[in-house]
Structure 1
Amino acid sequence: MKAVVAGASGGIGQPLSLLLKACPLVDKLALYDVVNTPGVATDLSHISSVAQIEGFLPADDGLKKALTGADIVVIPAGIPRKPGMTRDDLFKINAGIVKGLIEGVATTCPDAYILVISNPVNSTVPIAAEILKKAGKFNPKKLFGVTTLDVVRAETFAQSFTGEKDPSKTNIPVIGGHSGETIVPLYSQAKPAVKIPEDKLDALINRVQFGGDEVVKAKDGTGSATLSMAYAGFRFAEAVMKAAKGESNIVEPTFVYLPGVEGGDEIAKETGCDFFSVPVHLGKDGAEKAVNIVKEANEYEKKLLQKCYEGLKGNIEKGVEFVKNPPPPPEKK
């Protein structure tokens, strides 16, 4: 199993690369970024684990070398928002970065599982899909938006109500998208069942939806949720790799192109969105079946879902539009 981290030198990329280096499922690990990758790879190469590791920079066809023979490509590449930068500025930069990386995947390893972490996931996954479609290499069963951090937060923040020593033992489906009000935790469908007091539910949902802000504030503007995101990205990557190696009954919420996954059409019709995060059965071919738990939502959750659909449709359109009508390159100041 060869894994690639594209964006391996960044705040998410480094801890994610560490977790993958330590993972016994990974035989080869290739790191790619625009700076520092040989240093990160050398540092990690001293760890006594199975994975053989190499680091690549853009020079000398580095992206192609990193991606050659890849089974799974995890993409945390992108920049965090800096002071004075609008969300639109950030979108254009990160969208351009993802576009370039996906073009590399389409050319070099189109059969790999592609896991997109780069924000905004609600738009970068549709960008990836459009790029792959253009290249005639789109396999919707192998393109995933990683929304696992929302699941991890939903589990963790409910711990005070569940009393469970290990919060990950409570299965809480989180559906929709991966930003703000597009994130919808379905506590009514937790297994084992969770009883959240009515007067505490709004605050709990809000905390799951805007957990990223909590981290930015605590880091006093010097960073965002990088370590928890690396953990969540690894948790999902590990699930995909286990399924690829034949392990059964692996179900994880992930942001997928619904019309391309069994069971997805029904969810697309119900939500009005072609891309949506729902629990997905993972197998050797990737996304085997999408589970429609939208229809199980209670009245409170249905109201949250209405807001989710509105925001998500715009995010998806923005990603598709970026590929169909690329913005002009920014003027150099």
Structure 2
Amino acid sequence: MDFVCNDKLVIVGAAGMIGSNMAQIASVMHLTPNLCLFDVYEPGLEGVYEELRHCGFDGMNIHYTTDVKEAFTGAKYIVSSGGAPRKAGMTREDLISGNGEIAKQLGENIRKYCPDLEHLTIIFNPADITGIIALLHSGLKPSQVTTLAGLDSTRLQSELAKHFGVLQHEVTGARTYGGHGEQMAVFGSSVKVDGKPLSELIGTDKLTDEQWAELRQRVIKGGANIIKLRGRSSFQSPAQLSIEMIGAAMGGPAFRWPVGTYVSNDRYDHVMMAWETVLDRNGAHIKPIEHATDEEMKELDASYKHLQDQIDNIIKMGLIPSVDKWSELNPNIK
């Protein structure tokens, strides 16, 4: 059986719905034979382990543990969904306090047990904030930490495909940037529907301005809609996309969507946000956002301001130091 690599991949939060799905997808994708499942809830964790064995995957060396030192030692890749999920009526930001502490501990454990980690992908919300906390405390390079942001872009693609009655892959260039939350910036300028620019369709009888505004809101509130429909937060889609992300970092197929990554340039500084990147064995490296309209950039500016406010909040909570001291905590942050 051929695998992408032989390095140790750890699934944090493996007893949960996202984590267990991630473990199965990673096995199906043949990312590595060396898969470690970590969670603090042992009965559920053992249940996931047994179910994966019952799948009969060839060549897999699956291990589970509730001991963080055992799980992280020797790890080269980690995907973490190990935070509290969002419930009905909650925003992602409502999870900052508890999940922020979890992110801090995650970063500290990486620094302590697997400082040679190649890549960390974070799923649990609010991912832009838990990602920056884990990055700072882990000591990793910015290119080595990514967060789940592509889910918003796939939701945009899905909504457009449903509206125009085309297959989902016939909608190309669907992109959202900025925060993974209700302040995200939804870009339409790069989108094509069956080869036709979306900009030529908006404002016509095929997609009126009102329909476009309503569609954008469905994208922004896509996660809340899943909670309404299923009674729990999304798990299949974040599991799929997160494993595609870590798979790209492990040397697998290129990741097709924006990722949450550390951005520090002349317009946006000291922030983790959805951006256009190349994600491969060398980590995540940002690319220019092309073809954006002035209005879209204003939306991205507003999303960035919202993220800055959240960062100020977690500084006040003591989860991270003030920005001028970030490089003291993590010398890889400039």
TM-score above 0.5, yes or no: yes
Residue 324, structure 1, aligned to residue 333, structure 2: no
**Which of 34, 47, 52 in structure 2 is aligned with 1:39?**
47
Q: Do the aligned partners of residues 302 and 85 (structure 1) sit closer, same or farther apart at CA in structure 2, a change above 3 Å counting?
A: closer
**Which of 257, 271, 291 in structure 2 is aligned with 1:296?**
291
User: How many Å separate the matches in 1 of 2:104 and 2:262?
Assistant: 17
Q: What runs of 5+ residues in structure 1 fail to find an aligned partner?
A: 260-264, 327-333
**Alignment size in residue pairs:** 301
CA contact (8 A) 1:272 1:309 kept: no
User: How many Å separate the matches in 1 of 2:166 and 2:276?
Assistant: 22
User: How many Å separate the matches in 2 of 1:121 and 1:310?
Assistant: 16
Q: What runs of 5+ residues in structure 2 fail to find an aligned partner?
A: 1-6, 323-334
| Cα drift, residue 20 of structure 1 | 1.3
| Cα drift, residue 234 of structure 1 | 2.2
User: How many Å separate the matches in 2 of 1:64 and 1:314?
Assistant: 34
Partner of 1:144: 146
User: How many Å separate the matches in 1 of 2:171 and 2:36?
Assistant: 32
Residue 209, structure 1, aligned to residue 209, structure 2: no
User: How many Å separate the matches in 2 of 1:145 and 1:5?
Assistant: 14
| Cα drift, residue 146 of structure 1 | 1.4
Runs of 4+ in 1 over 6 A off after TM superposition: 83-89
User: How many Å separate the matches in 2 of 1:89 and 1:185?
Assistant: 22
| 81-90 or 150-159: bigger deviation | 81-90
- Aligned positions of 1:165-244 closer than 5 A: 165-167=167-169, 170-181=172-183, 183-190=184-191, 192=195, 193-194=197-198, 195-196=201-202, 197=207, 198-219=209-230, 222-242=231-251
**Structure with the largest fraction of helix:** 1
CA contact (8 A) 2:34 2:60 kept: yes
Q: Do the aligned partners of residues 201 and 236 (structure 1) sit closer, same or farther apart at CA in structure 2, a change above 3 Å counting?
A: same
| Cα drift, residue 180 of structure 1 | 0.8
**Which of 276, 283, 286 in structure 1 is aligned with 2:283?**
286
Partner of 1:306: 301
Partner of 1:330: none
Partner of 2:78: 73
User: How many Å separate the matches in 1 of 2:218 and 2:89?
Assistant: 25
User: Identity over aligned residues, as a percent?
Assistant: 27
| Cα drift, residue 4 of structure 1 | 0.9
Partner of 1:277: 274
| Cα drift, residue 5 of structure 1 | 0.8
- Aligned positions of 1:37-116 closer than 5 A: 37-49=45-57, 50-57=59-66, 62-81=67-86, 90-110=95-115, 111-116=117-122
In structure 1, give the amino acid aligned to 2:61: Q
| 272-281 or 97-106: bigger deviation | 272-281
Partner of 1:329: none
Q: TM-score under structure 2 normalisation?
A: 0.81
Q: TM-score under structure 1 normalisation?
A: 0.81
User: How many Å separate the matches in 2 of 1:87 and 1:54?
Assistant: 31
| Cα drift, residue 286 of structure 1 | 0.6
Residue 158, structure 1, aligned to residue 160, structure 2: yes
CA contact (8 A) 1:251 1:280 kept: no
